[in-house]
Amino acid sequence: MIAVDPAVSVEQAARDALFEVHDPETDLNLVDLGLIYRVSYRPETRRLEVLMTLTTPACPAGDVIVEGVQRRLSLVPEVDDVAVEITFEPHWTPERISSGGRAFLGW
């Protein structure tokens, strides 16, 4: 029997949950939009950390998006704390959108 690392399963649950958080302007989920850079879980503190970007530093929906990420990820089992860090390195470009996201947007 293969042992499953609990941190890996929490991280996967978090990644799956992020498909449920949508950009309010496009209605595309943040994963397919290419905004999520990293998800990591610290089991000793039950803290989930997300490194993500926005489409632009002046994104008018930035606060709403971050709040949506925090709200949804706080529902993931084994998570007591969610920290979201915004970065613009590397900058987001439309090339980060997944093929499924492009189809959703009609591109």
Decide if pLDDT at 3 tops 50.
no
Average pLDDT over residues 82-98: 97
The residue among 54 and 3 whose pLDDT is bigger is: 54
| pLDDT band (50, 70, 90) for residue 70 | very high
CATH class for the region spanning 6-105: alpha beta
Collapsed DSSP state (helix, strand, coil) of residue 15: helix
- Give pLDDT, residue 4: 46
59: buried, middle or exposed (CB in 10 Å: 19+, 13-18, 0-12)?
A: middle
Q: Where in the chain are the domains?
A: 6-105
Assign 99 a pLDDT band (cuts: 50, 70, 90): very high
Q: How far, CA to CA in Å, does 21 sit from each of 4, 5, 12, 47?
A: 26, 25, 15, 19
Which among 34, 9, 16 is positioned nearest to 105, based on CA atoms? 34
Q: At what angle do helices 6-18 and 62-73 cross, to 10 degrees?
A: 140
From 64, 67, 54, 69, select the one nearest 14 (Cα to Cα).
Answer: 69
Residues 7-19 pLDDT 10s: 569 999 999 999 9
